[in-house]
Structure 1
């Protein structure tokens, strides 16, 4: 009950959700630098899958070790729970990132960021049909629209006005976003009867293991382990451990919609951190406007109406 009181507090939810999105946003420049450090070429999808697999295997193991050290029984799970955890791992990690990495390789970064942000819409819409206490209303719809406009603005570029649509590019990214939304709702279901850290640890480990196996079978390899590249891989793993654990914890005690809306912050943080670590230009009016719109969107979705019970 104590945990529930803490993690349903709106200020706590906002702080934790924003922190998760900051971590996920930092993954964009970290992954790009990782490709350079590990000498993974742009078209080498199998090696990218192996790289992602290593990241999630480490992330899962870290969580499971922490869970075991804190007294949680990570091996005392039923056959049904094992199957559920496997489904979650394959769905939320393996399937999502296969579509994600292939999709990113077949579209521009601008369009990729926009399409990936549709996970917020899918989460809110799915919650509307699954949960009786998480329905859409005009205010939430307007909040989503305003937030999405902000995401579009921060990624808008006059010299990249390409409205072409490729199924293995933009289409795959939309599928990845949908899978992420479904996985989050499935994780919420599992955490009702299982510990959040155990659920997250196993899902990351199983999904990462599958990514690694698939990547290796397709001919992917990851070499060039140095001090810097290894530290970067460890950082990516730790950010996944922290972000997914905290996110699933929020979903355990809260409605899906008000938590998922914070996904709009990921491309904002990704842009800011890319400017810092990849020397990209960010000091433009569009970025300030975009951040303002995203904040307004978040406020609208989370603001309760007086008549709501």
Structure 2
């Protein structure tokens, strides 16, 4: 049982489940503050929450070289500051359905960049087929929503979210390829502290946030988001650093985020109910993941 709980598929699914929960909390937080400011505070607190859970903290911190610190700053910029800055900016220019489809395409970008930047993570026909099938499932779920309306800002929003996918994929490759000597909790903690702090600084001239006390629901939402981020990102960085784990395969698990998100909405929101299109999209995604894992196991046996 312990072996299963520590397995890559289980931990990847757990991280994706955590990432699927924040949508309602984000909506609550954005009622009271600006997007970049809220994201910055969220990730700054997330990084701080990890610090008490780092064993032998001082020893590990002192052992970090200047090269390691440069990598931490690089990951902070790519995986927190730029990634979420672009995400929150781009999503404002697009209908929700189109935004969801573009974010759902992230595993494809990860596979392409891993193919270009890593020697041991090349694209294969079976891998690309699985990823494209998963993207089809995301598109089916997204198109089932009723907010797909054409606007003049769509090209700008598409460009920003495509750049967001490239930045996020590059961050994943760098974590997997270059940071194996950095403990995952140290990497996750300080990259979020630094990245979150930079988002807060950027938000001041760009958004002019109001620094005031908010209702209790804001702090509940912020607390939940901080906990989710600290757990999910620590798990994900740990998986990226595992021997034999490929960036392209791991990112394919992100296709289940919209499945979890839809199921959570059906359980929590009174006006959300299961529909045929969403279930069809989920079935396609499930089949794509089963297909990818089948090919991976078959390749391992060979």
Question: For structure 2, which runs of at least 5 residues remain unmatched after alignment?
Answer: none
Cα distance in 2 for residues equivalent to 1:118 and 1:245: 23
- The match for 2:17 is 22
How many Å separate the matches in 1 of 2:212 and 2:178? 36
User: Match for residue 44 of structure 1?
Assistant: none
Please say if residues 117 and 177 of structure 1, whose CA atoms lie closer than 8 Å, have aligned partners that are also in contact. no
8 Å contact from structure 2 (residues 108, 131) kept in 1? yes
1:68 Cα deviation from its structure 2 partner = 5.2
Q: Distance in 1 between matches of 2:287 and 2:98?
A: 23
**Structure 1 pair 271/305, CA: closer, same or farther in 2 (3 Å)?**
closer
Q: Which residue of 2 aligns with 1:192?
A: 180
1:180 match: 168
State the alpha-carbon separation in 1 of the partners of residues 297 and 187 from structure 2. Answer: 34
Deviations 1:6-49 (A, max 9, x none): 5xx7982221111111111111222112223xx24xxxxxx211
1:246 to 235, 255, 265: 235
- 2:93 aligns with 106
Q: 1:64 deviation in Å? A: 2.3
Q: TM-score, normalised by structure 1?
A: 0.87
Q: Deviations over 1:59-80 (max 9, x none)?
A: 1111123215667523542222
Matches within 5 A, 1:103-142: 103-142=90-129
Gaps of 5+ in 1: 41-46
Change (3 A) 1:227 1:305: closer
Residue in 2 that maps onto 1:90: 77
Q: Following TM superposition, by how much is the alpha carbon of 1:257 offset from its aligned partner in structure 2, in angstroms?
A: 1.7
Deviations 1:65-116 (A, max 9, x none): 3215667523542222222211110111001111111111111111111111
Asked if the contact 2:97/2:148 (under 8 Å) is kept, the reply is no
Change in CA separation of 1:157 and 1:241 when aligned onto 2, cut-off 3 Å: same
Q: What residue is the counterpart of 1:64 in the other structure?
A: 51
TM-score (norm 2): 0.89
How far residue 290 of structure 1 moved from its aligned partner, in angstroms, is: 1.3
Q: Aligned partners of 1:58, 1:90: CA distance in 2, in Å?
A: 16
Shift of 1:145: 1.4
For residues 202-227 of structure 1, what are the alpha-carbon distances to aligned partners after superposition, in whole Å with 9 as ceiling and x for unaligned? Answer: 11111000000111232123544333
Q: Count the aligned residue pairs.
A: 295
Structural mapping, 1:209-228, within 5 Å: 209-218=197-206, 219-221=208-210, 223-228=212-217
Q: CA deviation at 1:278?
A: 4.1
Shift of 1:298: 0.9
- The whole-number CA distance in structure 2 between the counterparts of 1:85 and 1:157 is 40
Q: Which residue of 2 aligns with 1:261?
A: 252
Change (3 A) 1:234 1:14: same
